């Protein structure tokens, strides 16, 4: 652990005018407050806030932020109070510490509505002072670096939370180095086998071809010397998770990946950046579609750089990033560059973005989400998105996430344009609405009166704004139909516990789950956004529990699992009691249960050590085993209602319903049904199949849903 003098020296390296008394006082106060506390590793707890402060000195942050890092756990974990911190260190530091404490108390890894609500709180805390999230990110980074000392279940929870929230947030803020490290540390916990495999293949590659990074670096430097450009060249191998993600996205084996090395060229001026680009493209062949100019079109977080990929030495693809040193400072610090100090004063970097303006671009459209689920989808899309820049016919620049389509473009202009869209032209050529837009393209939206959004647009759209507007319009159009279907689903669910779905009961249930009335709730049930079973459980939890008391306990439904392991059913085959099963083990997690005939098991034929013999517990199981059935029905009045009734009459609950294909004569839909066992499932399918309106019926199995 570094002492107070060493920490102050780190700050003084970039801020000679640092307030030494403030930092020394915060160090001593936090050390006294945390005295006697230990980390999971057995080290004194105070080593953690000191490490967090040291991480933030690498970003050259101001004294208040460094002091906050030292004090960030005092309100949460010690006798320290907001009032005392404000008296000792000032209101600015106290507000920051309080903000970090509130972020720490958010359960960001919890699911659905609560997670969405906490995301709103996170953004509110960020909006007051962005330095709060900088401290929290450094706090998470140090915790991930030392995560091996935590219990396995807590490691998994923290790793998922890091991968889902903190890593993409760091990337969105422009702190790409932190995003990459957070992702890789989480990857080490969540999939150690895959990570070790990537590292082993890297070592094998180096043995076969040698370390190519110094060779390619020398090649680039030689090209720049001949061009008379003064620049520094740095090379590195990409992080294991970055390589793994590319393998998954492109469905490629490691041996087929080419651009696994990245190089960075730092110049003095913007003109030099383009001279470097020209020299590199003259020497090596550029890879089509892999050029991005973020200097002429900067990202909203201030990031500026030229990206290009070329076929370099021995045909290996090499990614090259070209930027000035000032641009590099912002690329390393992102939005944090606003608070960076150099020689005792705020760094006057012309590329540093105003945090308030950046936050406005991040949150400007979040308010359009009507409920928590839509908000959560919207904010996650914004967190993960990279940008493309397209032009309207008038020359206006429209900024969209990577992968956006003409539908997203239309809704970004105006909701009315989106609703009435019937086609699009890209660079003057008519294209399908599912076309993925690229940087620099000109997009013209073709509209027509009377046009309304199609259900398939939800899958085509990428932005949260477009998805929200489409869903809202579809919900209004289909509201009456969804209400009728929802009423039938609710009737069956309430009947299963001996209750009636009266209007008063439905209104009460709606208020209990935060909706304005029963009609709105029925529309959500009918559109499969809400489960009728969950509504019943909210009003009559004791009846739902009583109906399952005599059954085999769900957590003991399978015999043969390791002690403490939870039952995890494979979604590719969805095994149910009565079927022969086997378990496949995963490092850091309990085994996943498959049916013995599941095609996914072929992936593990050469790994017999991962197989576990399992079997279902004898006795009556609760109807909680979800199975998807694939049904094609005629488009006739009453058919869907009859099917729902038939399933309910078999004492099975419909937990979800999704239309996958709509034709004038037929509908194809996937229905998730909760059953007790294989016999119960057979009875449900038999009852449905006998209906005259059912054209085909089968159990839905898909390797796309494998674990």
Provide the annotated active-site residues: 76-77
- Residue 34: which of 66, 70, 87, 8 has the closest Cα? 70
Containing H/E element for 669? strand 666-675
**Long-range pairs for 499-504: beta carbons < 8 A, 24 or more residues apart:** 499/536, 499/539, 499/540, 499/543
**Long-range pairs for 278-285: beta carbons < 8 A, 24 or more residues apart:** 278/227, 279/223, 279/224, 279/226, 279/227, 279/229, 280/220, 280/223, 280/308, 280/310, 280/320, 280/322, 281/308, 281/310, 283/223, 284/310, 284/311, 284/312, 284/318, 285/310, 285/311
Task: Write the CA distances from 39 to 70, 106, 141, 634, integer angstroms.
Answer: 16, 21, 15, 63
What DSSP character marks residue 431?
E
As given in the structure block, the two tokens for residue 196 are 């070790």
Distance CA 181, CA 69 (A): 20
Residue 432 three-state SS: coil
Give the residues across from 694 on adjacent strands: 633
What DSSP character marks residue 44?
B
Task: Write the CA distances from 564 to 149, 224, 568, 589, integer angstroms.
Answer: 19, 60, 12, 11
Distance CA 108, CA 102 (A): 12
- Residue 289: which of 436, 431, 71 has the closest Cα? 436
| CB 693, CB 660: distance < 8 Å | no
Residue 302 three-state SS: coil
Nearest-Å Rg of the Cα atoms of the chain is: 29
To the nearest 10°, report the CA torsion of 681, 687, 688, 691: 170
What DSSP character marks residue 317?
E
- 678 CB-near residues (< 8 Å, 6+ apart): 576, 577, 578, 579
Length of the chain: 707
Angle at 419 between CA 415 and CA 425, to 5 degrees: 95
Distance CA 369, CA 123 (A): 15
- 167 CB-near residues (< 8 Å, 6+ apart): 179, 182, 183, 186
Containing H/E element for 670? strand 666-675
Q: What are phi and psi of 547, to 5 degrees?
A: -65, -15
3-state helix, strand, coil split of the chain in percent (to 5) is 50, 15, 30
**Long-range pairs for 306-309: beta carbons < 8 A, 24 or more residues apart:** 306/273, 306/274, 306/277, 308/277, 308/280, 308/281, 309/259
**Long-range pairs for 252-257: beta carbons < 8 A, 24 or more residues apart:** 254/197, 254/198, 254/201
- Residue 611: which of 619, 601, 620, 621 has the closest Cα? 601
């Amino acid at each position: 652990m570094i002492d107070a003098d060493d920490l102050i020296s780190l700050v003084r390296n970039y801020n000679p005018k640092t307030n030494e008394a403030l930092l020394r006082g915060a160090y001593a106060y936090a050390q006294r407050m945390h005295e006697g506390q230990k980390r999971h590793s057995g080290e004194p707890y105070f080593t953690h806030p000191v490490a967090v402060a040291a991480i933030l000195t690498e970003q050259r942050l101001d004294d208040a932020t460094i002091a906050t890092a030292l004090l960030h756990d005092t309100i949460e974990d010690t006798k320290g109070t907001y009032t005392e911190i404000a008296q000792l260190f000032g209101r600015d530091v106290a507000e920051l510490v309080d903000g970090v404490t509130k972020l720490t108390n958010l359960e960001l890894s919890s699911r659905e509505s609560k997670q969405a609500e906490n995301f709103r709180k996170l953004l509110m805390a960020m909006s007051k002072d962005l330095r709060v999230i900088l401290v929290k990110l450094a706090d998470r980074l140090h915790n991930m670096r030392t995560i091996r000392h935590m219990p396995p279940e807590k490691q998994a929870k923290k790793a998922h939370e890091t991968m889902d929230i903190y890593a993409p947030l760091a990337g969105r803020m422009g702190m790409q180095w932190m995003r990459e490290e957070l992702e890789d540390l989480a990857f080490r916990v969540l999939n150690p086998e895959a990570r070790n495999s990537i590292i082993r293949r890297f070592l094998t590659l180096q043995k076969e071809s040698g370390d190519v990074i110094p060779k390619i670096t020398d090649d680039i430097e030689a090209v720049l010397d001949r061009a008379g450009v003064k620049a520094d060249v740095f090379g590195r191998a990409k992080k294991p998770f970055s390589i793994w993600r590319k393998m998954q996205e492109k469905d490629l084996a490691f041996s087929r990946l080419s651009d696994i090395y990245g190089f960075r060229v730092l110049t003095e001026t913007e003109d030099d950046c383009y001279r470097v680009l020209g020299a590199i493209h003259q020497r090596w062949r550029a890879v089509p579609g892999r050029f991005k100019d973020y200097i002429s079109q900067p990202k909203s977080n201030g990031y500026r750089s030229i990206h290009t990929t070329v076929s370099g030495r021995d045909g290996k693809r090499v990614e090259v990033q070209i930027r000035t040193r000032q641009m590099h400072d912002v690329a390393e610090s992102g939005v944090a560059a606003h608070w960076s100090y150099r020689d005792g004063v705020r760094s006057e970097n012309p590329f540093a973005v105003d945090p308030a303006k950046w936050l406005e671009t991040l949150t400007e459209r979040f308010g359009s989400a009507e409920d928590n689920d839509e908000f959560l989808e919207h904010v996650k899309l914004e967190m993960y998105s990279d940008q493309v820049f397209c032009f309207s016919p008038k020359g206006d620049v429209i900024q969209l996430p990577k992968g956006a389509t003409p539908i997203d473009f239309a809704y970004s202009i105006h909701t009315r344009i989106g609703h009435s869209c019937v086609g699009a032209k890209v660079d003057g050529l008519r294209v399908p609405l599912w076309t993925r837009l690229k940087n620099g393209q000109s997009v013209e939206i073709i509209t027509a009166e009377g046009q309304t959004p199609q259900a398939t647009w939800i899958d085509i759209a990428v932005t949260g704004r477009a998805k929200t507007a489409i869903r809202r319009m579809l919900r209004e159009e289909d509201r009456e139909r969804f209400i009728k279907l929802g009423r039938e689903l609710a009737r069956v669910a309430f009947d299963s516990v001996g209750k009636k779905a009266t209007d008063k009961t439905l209104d009460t249930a709606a208020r209990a789950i935060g909706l304005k009335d029963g009609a709105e709730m029925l529309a959500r049930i009918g559109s499969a956004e809400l489960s009728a079973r969950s509504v019943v459980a909210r009003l009559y939890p004791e009846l739902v529990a009583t109906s399952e008391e005599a059954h085999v306990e769900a957590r003991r439904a399978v015999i043969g699992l390791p002690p403490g392991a939870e039952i995890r059913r494979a979604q590719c085959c969805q095994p149910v009691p009565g079927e022969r099963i086997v378990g496949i083990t995963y490092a850091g997690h309990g085994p996943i249960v498959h049916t013995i005939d599941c095609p996914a098991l072929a992936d593990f034929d050469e790994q017999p050590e991962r197989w576990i013999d399992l079997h279902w517990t004898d006795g009556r199981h609760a109807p909680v085993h979800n199975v998807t059935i694939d049904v094609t029905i005629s488009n006739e009045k009453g058919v869907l209602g009859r099917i729902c009734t038939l399933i309910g009459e078999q004492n099975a609950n419909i937990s979800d319903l999704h239309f996958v294909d709509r034709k004038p004569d037929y509908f194809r839909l996937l229905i998730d049904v909760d059953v007790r066992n294989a016999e119960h499932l057979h009875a449900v399918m038999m009852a449905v199949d006998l209906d005259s309106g059912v054209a085909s019926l089968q159990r839905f199995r898909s390797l796309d849903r494998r674990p």
